[in-house]
């Protein structure tokens, strides 16, 4: 059974455009992979930034307590 990639509706006749939401029922595989890869890359980047920022704040707090 084929399903629409947008709304996950059943696509029994294997329509190119979904009968339910009107969007394309499938995407070329390379596009999906590229999208996933770039999405993952962005996510890791943001996570890395957040952790470094948190460490930075922790370090500053430590220094403050030392000064006092």
Site residues (vs Zn ion, CB under 5 A): 4, 6-7, 9, 18, 20-21
E strands, the chain, where?
Answer: none
Rounded to a whole number of angstroms, the minimum distance from the CB of residue 12 to Zn ion is 13
Token digits of residue 12: 């029994």
Rounded to a whole number of angstroms, the minimum distance from the CB of residue 35 to Zn ion is 18
Rounded to a whole number of angstroms, the minimum distance from the CB of residue 40 to Zn ion is 25
Residue 19 or 36 with smaller CB distance to Zn ion: 19
Contacts of 7 (CB under 8 A, 6+ apart): 18, 20, 21, 23
């Amino acid at each position: 059974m084929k399903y629409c990639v947008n709304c996950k509706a059943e696509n029994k006749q294997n329509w190119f455009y979904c009968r339910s939401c009107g969007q394309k029922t499938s995407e070329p595989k390379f596009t999906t992979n590229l999208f996933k890869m770039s999405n993952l890359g962005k996510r890791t980047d943001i996570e890395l930034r957040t952790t470094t920022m948190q460490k930075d704040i922790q370090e500053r707090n430590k220094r403050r307590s030392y000064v006092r």
